[in-house]
């Protein structure tokens, strides 16, 4: 086993809001928080969906830089008949066959491989999410375990030989927790032993599916959170027995926050009725609905000014973004880190309010999907969806600190590299969280700014929290006269 002080562990609780980290639900997370650093102003990237944030975690970059714009994307040069689902490994592999490497920014696994170090990852969510944790594993001697695939392929047999067959695939309840427990044992008992990695990553699919199906604060979601925290605690205990214990740097985060569905809107049907789209299936305007947001891909025949002017007038819209803010009345995609080679023509954040749901959790939003009112959703630009959970603990981090410095998921990769003795690549957007480190007395300058754009009948306002030269999306709203 390599020197334990040289390993960093990154864990993700999918969809766990920071206000759900509480002693009666997550005692193991709370103990880690209390003996380490609790980041009270952490943010995910917009859109607040899993795959955009999985890529941000892996690459220390915003979507415009890493190239994964959302959970679904339109790449007609790869698939001209349908949108691609980045949650499916088969769709990502089709993209990967065209894009080498898959992400436009170097990943943690690639950077460490250049130094002769290995990365081991386990994913218990979608196969696409598991792939995005380490997409270049096959060419860097990395290890990836997911119940749908492994890299290398022979890893599946090694894990089954040690642990038996994996549990059935299910996103809900006890089966989801069983899959998380199996993945945790695969990481500690097989991958870490076999690879002796410098970096280990573990994606915990709970509580995301439970929030989606039953709602925030539901008994089903609370049960899953409690059980996942137990799995997390047992995993840390096994690592301690293996010689890590207090000598392990740990960064624990969530990929996004959550809101409760207030109502839904069929955006395609609305555009057809307004005369801005030929049919719901026509391809002059392609819509990729991602929870509380929608990526809009328009061809050259489309009048983007008319399309955006329609969107900003709708009560179900919170904000509209365009490339470079070039369309009058829109905010700039670059302001939220989403402008880049694979950016959509427009990005729409759907309307939200701060009222509580039936279980007392604030934040409700419109969704373009068919999720029933009262269930959970994310993807939008409300503060309830943009705020994520982040904890850091270990020999490199301060103890008992609640940091109010703005930060985000893009900062995890640079900080992990720093703990391992490396500087982040210049291509990355995130920063090293110096304010949380024992060996640093530097605290970045911080401020909050609002960017406002007027249109006929109202104005859009984007709120950004800034620290150390990085801008984190806090929220956006539209006020109409």
Same domain for 337 and 398, yes or no, is no
pLDDT in tens, 286-320: 999 989 999 999 999 999 999 999 999 999 999 99
φ/ψ of 274, rounded to 5, equals -85, 0
Residues 392/36, Cβ–Cβ less than 8 Å: yes
Q: What percent of the chain lies above the pLDDT cut of 70?
A: 98
* Strand, helix or coil for residue 224: helix
Q: What is the CATH number of the domain that holds 138?
A: 3.40.720.10
223/344 same-domain check: no
- Helix, coil or strand: residue 190: helix
Q: Are residues 418 and 474 in the same domain?
A: no
Count CB neighbours of 452 within 10 A.
Answer: 11
Total number of domains constituting the chain: 2
d(CA 9, CA 14): 16
State the virtual CA torsion across 316, 346, 410, 193 in degrees, nearest 10: 100
Tell me, what's the pLDDT at 5?
Answer: 46
- According to DSSP, residue 104 is labeled S
Residues 268, 266: Cα–Cα separation, whole Å: 6
Are 394 and 36 contacting, i.e. CB atoms less than 8 angstroms apart?
Answer: yes
Q: Based on the domain organization, do 293 and 252 belong to the same domain?
A: no
Give the pLDDT confidence of 137-154 residue by residue, as tens digits: 999 999 999 999 999 999
Residue 196 lies in a domain: yes
* Same domain, yes or no: 71 and 153: yes
Q: Kindly state whether residue 442 falls inside one of the protein's structural domains.
A: no
- Please tell me the distance from the alpha carbon of residue 399 to that of residue 392, in angstroms, as a whole number: 9
Q: Are the CB atoms for 346 and 304 separated by under 8 Å?
A: yes
Could you tell me if 208 and 313 lie in one domain?
A: no
Cα separation, 311 vs 368, in Å, equals 14
Residues 333 and 214 both lie in one domain: no
Residue 197 and residue 71 share a domain: yes
In this predicted structure, which of 59-63, 71-75, 279-283, 438-442 has the lowest mean pLDDT?
438-442
Smallest Cα–Cα separation from 442: which of 450, 453, 451, 431? 431
Whether the predicted pLDDT of 208 surpasses 50? yes
Domain membership of residue 234 (yes or no) is yes
User: Is residue 228 a part of any domain in this protein?
Assistant: yes
Domain of residue 314, residue span: 261-381+448-480
What pLDDT does residue 2 have?
A: 37
How far apart CA 80 and CA 71 sit, in angstroms, is 17
- Domain membership of residue 441 (yes or no) is no
Is 443 part of a structural domain of the chain? no
The length of the chain, given as a count of residues = 481
d(CA 130, CA 87): 9
pLDDT above 90 (res 175): no
pLDDT at residue number 338: 99
For residues 331 and 216, state if they share a domain. no
* Whether residue 73 is found in the same domain as residue 142: yes
Q: Is residue 170 part of a domain?
A: yes
Same domain for 417 and 304? no
Is there a single domain that holds both residue 140 and residue 268? no
Give pLDDT tens digits for 340-363.
999 999 999 999 999 999 999 999
DSSP state of 191: I
Residue 337 lies in a domain: yes
């Amino acid at each position: 086993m390599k020197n334990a002080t040289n390993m960093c562990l990154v864990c993700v609780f999918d969809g766990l809001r920071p206000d759900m980290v509480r002693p009666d639900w997550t005692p193991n997370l709370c103990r880690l928080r209390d003996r380490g650093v609790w980041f009270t102003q952490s943010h995910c990237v917009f859109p607040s969906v899993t795959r955009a944030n999985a890529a941000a975690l892996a690459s220390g970059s915003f979507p415009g830089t890493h190239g994964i714009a959302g959970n679904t994307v339109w790449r007609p040069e790869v698939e001209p008949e349908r949108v691609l689902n980045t949650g499916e490994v088969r769709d990502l592999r089709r993209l990967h066959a065209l894009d080498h490497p898959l992400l436009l920014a170097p990943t943690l696994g690639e950077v460490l491989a250049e130094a002769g170090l290995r990365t081991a990852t386990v994913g218990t969510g979608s196969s696409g999410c598991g792939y995005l944790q380490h997409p270049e594993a096959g060419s860097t001697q990395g290890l990836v375990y997911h119940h749908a695939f492994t890299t290398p392929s022979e890893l599946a047999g090694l894990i089954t030989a040690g642990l038996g067959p994996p549990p059935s695939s299910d996103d809900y309840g006890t089966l989801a927790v069983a899959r998380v427990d199996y993945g945790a044992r695969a990481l500690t008992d097989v991958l870490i032993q076999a690879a002796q990695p410098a970096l280990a990553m573990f994606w915990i699919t709970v509580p995301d599916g439970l929030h989606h199906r039953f709602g925030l604060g539901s008994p089903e979601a609370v049960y899953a959170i409690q059980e996942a925290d137990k799995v997390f605690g047992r995993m840390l205990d096994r690592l301690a027995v293996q010689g890590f214990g207090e000598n392990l740097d740990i960064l624990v985060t969530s990929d996004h926050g959550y809101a409760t569905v207030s109502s839904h809107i069929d955006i395609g049907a609305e555009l057809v009725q307004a005369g801005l789209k030929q049919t719901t299936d026509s391809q002059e305007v392609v819509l990729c609905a991602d929870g509380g947001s929608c990526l809009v891909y328009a061809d050259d025949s489309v009048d983007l000014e008319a399309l955006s002017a329609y969107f900003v007038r709708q009560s179900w819209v919170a904000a509209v973004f365009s490339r470079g803010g070039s369309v009058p009345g829109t905010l700039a995609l670059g302001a939220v880190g989403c402008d880049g080679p694979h950016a959509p023509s427009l990005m729409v954040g759907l309307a939200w309010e701060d009222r509580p749901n039936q279980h007392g959790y604030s934040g409700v939003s419109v969704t373009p999907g068919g999720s029933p009112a009262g269930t959970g959703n994310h993807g939008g630009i409300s503060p309830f969806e943009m705020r994520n959970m982040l904890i850091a603990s270990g020999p490199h981090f301060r103890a008992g600190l609640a940091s109010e410095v703005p930060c985000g998921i893009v900062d995890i990769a640079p900080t992990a590299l720093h703990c391992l003795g490396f500087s982040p690549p210049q291509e990355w957007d995130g920063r090293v969280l110096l304010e949380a480190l024992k060996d640093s007395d530097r605290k970045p300058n911080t401020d909050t700014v609002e960017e406002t754009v007027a249109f006929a009948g109202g104005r859009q306002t984007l709120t950004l929290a800034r620290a150390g030269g990085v801008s984190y999306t806090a929220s956006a709203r539209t006020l109409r006269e």
